[in-house]
C-alpha cells in the first residue's frame, strides 16, 4: 500500500491550507458569536475566491460544475477543510448537500440532475436528507414508519422525520420511505424520493435545538412531517425498493470524508494545544509545556492522529481497489476509532487551554459540542464495533447478530 501524495496534490493541499488560514480562520470569531446569515456577505466573497482558484465543489466531476478531484484526493482535501468549522461551506462540500449531489449524479435522471443537481453544485440552493425517525431507532435503518403509497402516477407520503439537517431553507429533501412494505427482505422495502418543501402535506414542524444551539439558520436539524404529501413517481431516485442500497452508496465514501474531516479537526486542536502550552505560563519563565504531563498529552495526540490517518487511508485504498462491500469492516473500524481519537484530542486541547478552552474565543468548544454526535450518526459506535466483532468471530463459529440484519 502506497499512500504517498503526488507533487501536484501536495501543492494543492498546501495552497488550500494557506487559503483557509488567511481567508477562513479570521471569520471564525464572528461565526461563533453571530447569526450565520450575518456572515453570508463575507462567506460569499470567500466562495467566489474558491471558484476562481478552481477548487469549488472539489469532489464533484467537472462535467457537473465541480473541481473533479478523485475520491482519494478529496479525502486529503477533507482533512484540510475540516480544520475550520467553515471550511466545507466555503468550498461547497458541506453535508448533507455533497452526499445528495453524489446520489443525484449516480442515480438521478437527466431531468432530476437539471432541476436539482446543477443548482446544488453551483451553490444556488441547499438541500436536506430525511431518513431518521423519532419513533424508530436510527441504528436500524431498515425499520421505519414513513410510507409512500402508489396512487396513479404519484406517491402519497405519510410519516415523520427528525434530524433532517438543513431542512430550514432547503430547496428539496430526499426522503426515505417504505414503498414495498411486504418485500421479503427488509433491505428491499424502502425507496428514496425527492420532495420539494412547497408540496402540500410537507411541513417543517420545528428546528431541533442541539447542544445549546437553537437549531435554526445554517446548522438546522429539522423535524419534518409528511401528511398525504403527493409527489410524482418520477421523483424517485433509482429503482423502487433500492433506497437502502442507495443509502449505503452515500454513506460508505461519506464515512471516509467524515473521518478525514475529524482528523483535520484533530490537527487544528493539536496546533492550538501546542501554541497554548508554549505561551501559557505557570510562573514567570515556566511555560505549561515544561511539564511532562502536558508533553504526554501532546505526544499521545500526535501518535493517535497519525494512526487514525493511516487507518482511514488504508480503508479508502481498499474501497478504491475492491469496492465498498469488501471494505465494510475497515470502514466500520475507522468510524468508531477516529471518533474516539477526536474526542480524546479535543478534550486534551480544552484541558491545556484551561478556562479559555470552554469559551468561544477559540473553535475548541464549538468542535467539542458539535462533534460529540459523530459517535452516533452514520451508525452508532456500538453498531460498527459489532460489525468488526462479527467478522472476527466468524472463523470461531460464533454468529453475531446485527441490529436490522
Q: What is the CATH number of the domain that holds 257?
A: 1.20.140.10
Asked if residue 228 and residue 148 are part of one domain, the reply reads yes
The last residue of a domain, from among 199, 219, 237: 237
Q: CB–CB of 191/238 below 8 Å?
A: yes
Is the pLDDT at 402 greater than 70? The verdict is: no
Residue 1 within a domain: no
Asked if residue 252 and residue 226 are part of one domain, the reply reads no
Containing structural domain, residue 39: 7-108
Asked if residue 227 and residue 182 are part of one domain, the reply reads yes
Question: Residue 99 maps to which CATH number?
Answer: 1.10.540.10
Asked if residue 253 and residue 232 are part of one domain, the reply reads no
State the Cα–Cα distance between residues 226 and 204, nearest whole angstrom.
Answer: 9
Residue 208 within a domain: yes
Instruction: Say how many domains are in the chain.
Output: 3
Residue 113 within a domain: no
State the Cα–Cα distance between residues 25 and 110, nearest whole angstrom.
Answer: 39
- Residue 205 sits at φ, ψ, to 5 deg, of -70, -50
Asked if residue 95 and residue 63 are part of one domain, the reply reads yes
pLDDT of 223 reads: 95
Is the pLDDT at 167 greater than 50? The verdict is: yes
Asked if residue 134 and residue 87 are part of one domain, the reply reads no
Strand residue runs (E) in 80-220: 127-130, 147-151, 154-165, 172-178, 190-195, 202-207
Asked if residue 89 and residue 64 are part of one domain, the reply reads yes
Banded model confidence at residue 403, pLDDT cuts 50, 70, 90: low
Residue 402 within a domain: no
Asked if residue 98 and residue 28 are part of one domain, the reply reads yes
The last residue of a domain, from among 218, 237, 256: 237
Residue 120 within a domain: no
Asked if residue 81 and residue 29 are part of one domain, the reply reads yes
The last residue of a domain, from among 237, 256, 290: 237
Residue 373 within a domain: yes
pLDDT tens digits, 276-323: 999 999 999 999 999 999 999 999 999 999 999 999 999 999 988 888
Residue 89 within a domain: yes
29 Cβ contact list (under 8 Å, min separation 6): 361
3-class SS string, 294-330: HHHHHHHHHHHHHHHHHHHHHHHHHHHHHCCHHHHHH
Asked if residue 231 and residue 183 are part of one domain, the reply reads yes
Asked if residue 370 and residue 295 are part of one domain, the reply reads yes
pLDDT of 250 reads: 73
Asked if residue 275 and residue 187 are part of one domain, the reply reads no
Residue 334 within a domain: yes
pLDDT tens digits, 85-127: 999 999 999 999 999 999 999 999 999 999 999 999 999 999 9
Question: Residue 141 maps to which CATH number?
Answer: 2.40.110.10
Amino acid at each position: 500500500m502506497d499512500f504517498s501524495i503526488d507533487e501536484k496534490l501536495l501543492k494543492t493541499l498546501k495552497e488550500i491550507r494557506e487559503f483557509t488560514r488567511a481567508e477562513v480562520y479570521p471569520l471564525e470569531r464572528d461565526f461563533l458569536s453571530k447569526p450565520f446569515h450575518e456572515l453570508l456577505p463575507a462567506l460569499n466573497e470567500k466562495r467566489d475566491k474558491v471558484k476562481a482558484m478552481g477548487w469549488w465543489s472539489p469532489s464533484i466531476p467537472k462535467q457537473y460544475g465541480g473541481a473533479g478531484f478523485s475520491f482519494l484526493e478529496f479525502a486529503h482535501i477533507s482533512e484540510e477543510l475540516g480544520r475550520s468549522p467553515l471550511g466545507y461551506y466555503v468550498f461547497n462540500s458541506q453535508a448533507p448537500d455533497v452526499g445528495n449531489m453524489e446520489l443525484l449524479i449516480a442515480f438521478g435522471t437527466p431531468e432530476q440532475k437539471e432541476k436539482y443537481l446543477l443548482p446544488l453544485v453551483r451553490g444556488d440552493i441547499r438541500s436536506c436528507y430525511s431518513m431518521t425517525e423519532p419513533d424508530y431507532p436510527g441504528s436500524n435503518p431498515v425499520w421505519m414508519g414513513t410510507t409512500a403509497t402508489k396512487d396513479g402516477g404519484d406517491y402519497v407520503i405519510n410519516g415523520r422525520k427528525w434530524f433532517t439537517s438543513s431542512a430550514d431553507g432547503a430547496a428539496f429533501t430526499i426522503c426515505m420511505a417504505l414503498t414495498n412494505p411486504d418485500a421479503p427482505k427488509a433491505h428491499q422495502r424502502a425507496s428514496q424520493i425527492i420532495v420539494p418543501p412547497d408540496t402540500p402535506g410537507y411541513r417543517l414542524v420545528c428546528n431541533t435545538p442541539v447542544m445549546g444551539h437553537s437549531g435554526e439558520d445554517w446548522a438546522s436539524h429539522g423535524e419534518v412531517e409528511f401528511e398525504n404529501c403527493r409527489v410524482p413517481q418520477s421523483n424517485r431516485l433509482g429503482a423502487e425498493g433500492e433506497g437502502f442500497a442507495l443509502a449505503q452508496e452515500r454513506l460508505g465514501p461519506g464515512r471516509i470524508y467524515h473521518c478525514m474531516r475529524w482528523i483535520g479537526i484533530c490537527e487544528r486542536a493539536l496546533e492550538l494545544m501546542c501554541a497554548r502550552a508554549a505561551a501559557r505560563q505557570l510562573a514567570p519563565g515556566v511555560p505549561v509545556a515544561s511539564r511532562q504531563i502536558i508533553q504526554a498529552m501532546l505526544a499521545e495526540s500526535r501518535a493517535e492522529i497519525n494512526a487514525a490517518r493511516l487507518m482511514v487511508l488504508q480503508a479508502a485504498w481498499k474501497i478504491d481497489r475492491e469496492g465498498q462491500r469488501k471494505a465494510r469492516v475497515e470502514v466500520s473500524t475507522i468510524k468508531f476509532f477516529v471518533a474516539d481519537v477526536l474526542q480524546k484530542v479535543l478534550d486534551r486541547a480544552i484541558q491545556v487551554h484551561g478556562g479559555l478552552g470552554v469559551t468561544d474565543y477559540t473553535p475548541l468548544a464549538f468542535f467539542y459540542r458539535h462533534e460529540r454526535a459523530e459517535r452516533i450518526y452514520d451508525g452508532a459506535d456500538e453498531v460498527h464495533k459489532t460489525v468488526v466483532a462479527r467478522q472476527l468471530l466468524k472463523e470461531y463459529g460464533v454468529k453475531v447478530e446485527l441490529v436490522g440484519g
